[in-house]
Structure formats: structure tokens, C-alpha cells
């Protein structure tokens, strides 16, 4: 892999990451509704989802992925169900004007947060299209060395975590604009609705 190929891949991938889609909608909704609470696990699902698609594309395992399609469907529906659960929590949880407070009754499993975004990523047409169609056009996967794969893996993890956390941080800071109980209730319901829409889109993919 040449330096120019690497730079082109990095730029193209980062643009794909920050392009609006179901993933960004979920990140923004989550950050507006809950701040950065649990966000590392939420973002980790996107990272490992993209790395899974990268490995599948790089190893030419399309046939294998197709064979496991029923399992992926179950995972996708499980992730969609959990996003609905999060949306319900935003609609029904008690309102607090303390932006640092979390509702103990709305405890969230780190694993469930991870799985919800992982399943969203591996079933996201935008992500699938990038790794199945654009990646082979950007890089000759048959000539990549082990060190190339290692570099690309680190790049993917760095680019997606950076891009998503920029959006998450901005959305989290925007919460200070909604300090009254009425405003907090409205933003919770708006973000809950956003998560529910993402879940429906995810289930319909």
C-alpha cells in the first residue's frame, strides 16, 4: 500500500463516517438525551461493526457472510429492539434539570449499548456499500501486507471514534440550551423519537 493510496482511503473513509445516516442520527439522539453517559460503549459498537465489514471485505468472505445471514437478522432485530427500549426510556424517565444526573431506574447494560450499534452498523447499507464496493476500488486488497491491514485497522478505529465523538460532544454540549423541565421533556421526547425511527429503519433494512 502506497502513501497516496493510504491518504485517499483515509480521507474517503472519514468523509463516509461524518456523512449523515442512521448511525449519526443514533449518536446525536443519544448524546442529546443522555449526554456522554455510556457513549464509549455506544461508539465501540460502530467501531467493531466497521472492522467486521472491513475484515469480511478484505478476506473475500462474502459467501460466508451470506451463509450466516439468518444470524445477522436476529442480531439486527435485537439491536433494533434495544434502541426502542432506549427510546421508551427517554419518553418515560423522570425529568431532571441537573444535566449530570442519571436516572437509576434507567440502568443500561454496556453490552446492550454495544450490541445495538454493532448490529446497526453491520446492517447499514451505507457501511456495506463502502466496504463492499468502494474499498476494493481504493485499495488492491490482494496485495496488502499484514502490516497494511494493521495500519488500516487502527485507521478505521481512529477515524470513526474521532468523527462520532465530535458529533456526540457537540450534541452533548447543546443540552445546556435545554435547562428547564419543560425543555428537557421536549428534547427527551424528540431524541427518543429519533432513536425509534432509527430502530424502525434498522429493522426494515
What is the mean pLDDT of the segment spanning 16-45?
A: 81
Please tell me the distance from the alpha carbon of residue 73 to that of residue 79, in angstroms, as a whole number. Answer: 10
Is residue 144's pLDDT more than 70? yes
pLDDT at 157: 92
Per-residue model confidence as pLDDT tens digits over 127-143: 777 777 777 777 777 77
Q: What is the pLDDT of residue 90?
A: 64
- Cβ neighbours of residue 68 under 8 Å, at least 6 residues apart? none
From CA 6, how far away is CA 9, in angstroms rounded? 5
Average pLDDT (44-73) is 73
pTM of the predicted model as reported, rounded to 2 decimal places: 0.68
User: C-alpha cell of 134?
Assistant: 468502494
Cβ atoms of 103 and 94 closer than 8 Å:
yes
**Residue 101: predicted pLDDT:** 46
Q: Which pLDDT value is given to residue 99?
A: 44
Look-up: residue for cell 481504493?
A: 138
**pLDDT (average), residues 30-40:** 80
More confident residue, 198 or 32: 32
**Per-residue model confidence as pLDDT tens digits over 64-92:** 555 555 656 666 676 677 667 767 766 77
Q: Is the pLDDT of residue 151 over 50?
A: yes
* Contact predicate 173/7, CB 8 Å: no
Closest CA to 40 of 108, 101, 136: 108
Span 164-183, pLDDT tens digits: 888 888 888 877 665 556 66
Q: Is 144 exposed, middle or buried (0-12, 13-18, 19+ CB in 10 A)?
A: middle
Confidence band for 55, pLDDT divided at 50, 70 and 90: confident
Q: Mean pLDDT over all residues of the chain?
A: 74
Amino acid at each position: 500500500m502506497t502513501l497516496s493510496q493510504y491518504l485517499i482511503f483515509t480521507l474517503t473513509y472519514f468523509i463516509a463516517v461524518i456523512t449523515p445516516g442512521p448511525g449519526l442520527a443514533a449518536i446525536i439522539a443519544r448524546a442529546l438525551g443522555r449526554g456522554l453517559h455510556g457513549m464509549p460503549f455506544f461508539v465501540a459498537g460502530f467501531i467493531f461493526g466497521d472492522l467486521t465489514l472491513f475484515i469480511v471485505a478484505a478476506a473475500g468472505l462474502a459467501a460466508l457472510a451470506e451463509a450466516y445471514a439468518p444470524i445477522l437478522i436476529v442480531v439486527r432485530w435485537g439491536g433494533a429492539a434495544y434502541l426502542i427500549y432506549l427510546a421508551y426510556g427517554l419518553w418515560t424517565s423522570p425529568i431532571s434539570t441537573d444535566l449530570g444526573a442519571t436516572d437509576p431506574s434507567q440502568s443500561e447494560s454496556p453490552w446492550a449499548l454495544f450490541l445495538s450499534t454493532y448490529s446497526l452498523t453491520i446492517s447499514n447499507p451505507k457501511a456495506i456499500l463502502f466496504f463492499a464496493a468502494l474499498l476494493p476500488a481504493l485499495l488492491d486488497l490482494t496485495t496488502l501486507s499484514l502490516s497494511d491491514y494493521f495500519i488500516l485497522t487502527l485507521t478505521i478505529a481512529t477515524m470513526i471514534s474521532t468523527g462520532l465523538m465530535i458529533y456526540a460532544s457537540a450534541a452533548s454540549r447543546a443540552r445546556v440550551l435545554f435547562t428547564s423541565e419543560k425543555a428537557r421533556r421536549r428534547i427527551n421526547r424528540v431524541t427518543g423519537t429519533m432513536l425509534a425511527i432509527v430502530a424502525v429503519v434498522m429493522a426494515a433494512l
